[in-house]
Structure 1
């Protein structure tokens, strides 16, 4: 499964991505904001992640930035099941922060989530990472008002996290900056 946005190309990870992937995620400032990534992050961790089977209803993608000198990995995004709900998770390598890649990738996968039949998506961020909350809010997620302790492998313990949710049945759920990106949502709405 592949997703294209205005600047980005989202694709599955492959074994040959291991070195580039590891160089990007092997950064404590990135890993500490994730729940399941260990710190330190090893080449074996990268290999296991890239070789893990894909769930077609809960896809995960490498976020890549195609350019004139090739395509480079800038982060990762995907869906998982957490406490019975479909959860959106993402990260961007530190050298690529502040360029809108996370916001663009989140907006790009929401139409796919709707087409896959998901009605509600949840997300969260550790309270000391408010930038991730802004990404969720820009994509239409609303704070649930809940703050819960979540375990972080990278931090080696629990930390408070602010929770968000997006109802994909809402008419506003899949609005994007580009009409091309909104097309899958409009198609899904007509089919429903």
Structure 2
């Protein structure tokens, strides 16, 4: 499965992508804000991720920035099977690309794919000390649930409070654009 947004191209990772992935995510500031990524991040970790098979209901993607020499890997976005049968979203963008709206664009693209795959609700969380991730989620239409969950961070080696968000995909939300019902029917 592939997806093209306005500026980004989401595609599956292939085993030969491991070195680009490794370069993009090998940053303590990125890894400390992700639950499942260790620090230090090793080549073997990137090789494992790039070699993972796709799940038809919960795909994961490299977020690439198309250019004249191909697509530069700038992050990942994934739909994941979470606790209690819920679908969760995870993402990261490399530091060199922070502050340019790429995370929000990748999350919105993943939500379009999630709706296409039949998901009606997506959950996400960000560590309490990473408010920028919360802003990304809210810009994409997620709403804070008011719950704080304890989430283990492999990079930090401890459980960290995480602010829970959710979005219903069967109702219009901020990432849907014009709410005009005639436009929706077109």
Structure 2: how far apart are the matches of 1:69 and 1:35?
Answer: 32
Quote how far apart the aligned CAs of 1:16 are. Answer: 1.4
Structure 1: how far apart are the matches of 2:52 and 2:67?
Answer: 28
What does 1:2-151 correspond to in 2, within 5 Å? 2-83=2-83, 84-151=85-152
Q: 1:144-176 CA deviation, whole Å, 9 max, x = no partner?
A: 000111001011111111000001111226514
2:181 maps to none
Structure 2: how far apart are the matches of 1:172 and 1:133?
Answer: 16
| Secondary structure in 1 matching 2:176 | coil
Given the superposition, is the C-alpha separation of residues 66 and 171 from structure 1 closer, same or farther in structure 2, using an over 3 Å criterion? Answer: same
| Secondary structure in 2 matching 1:75 | strand
1:160 maps to 161
Structure 2: how far apart are the matches of 1:104 and 1:173?
Answer: 12
Given the superposition, is the C-alpha separation of residues 154 and 68 from structure 1 closer, same or farther in structure 2, using an over 3 Å criterion? Answer: same
Segments of 5+ residues of structure 2 without an aligned counterpart are 179-183
Structure 1: how far apart are the matches of 2:32 and 2:119?
Answer: 28
Instruction: Kindly report the root-mean-square deviation, in angstroms, between the aligned alpha carbons of the 2 structures.
Output: 1.6
| Secondary structure in 2 matching 1:171 | coil
Contact 1:168 1:174 in 2 (8 A): no
How many residue pairs were aligned? Answer: 180
Segments of 5+ residues of structure 1 without an aligned counterpart are 178-185
Quote how far apart the aligned CAs of 1:69 are. Answer: 3.6
| Secondary structure in 2 matching 1:99 | coil
| Secondary structure in 2 matching 1:48 | helix
Q: 1:124-155 CA deviation, whole Å, 9 max, x = no partner?
A: 00011000000100011000000111001011
Structure 1: how far apart are the matches of 2:127 and 2:69?
Answer: 35
Q: Which runs of 4+ in 1 moved over 6 A?
A: none
Structure 1: how far apart are the matches of 2:124 and 2:144?
Answer: 9
Q: TM-score, normalised on structure 1? A: 0.89
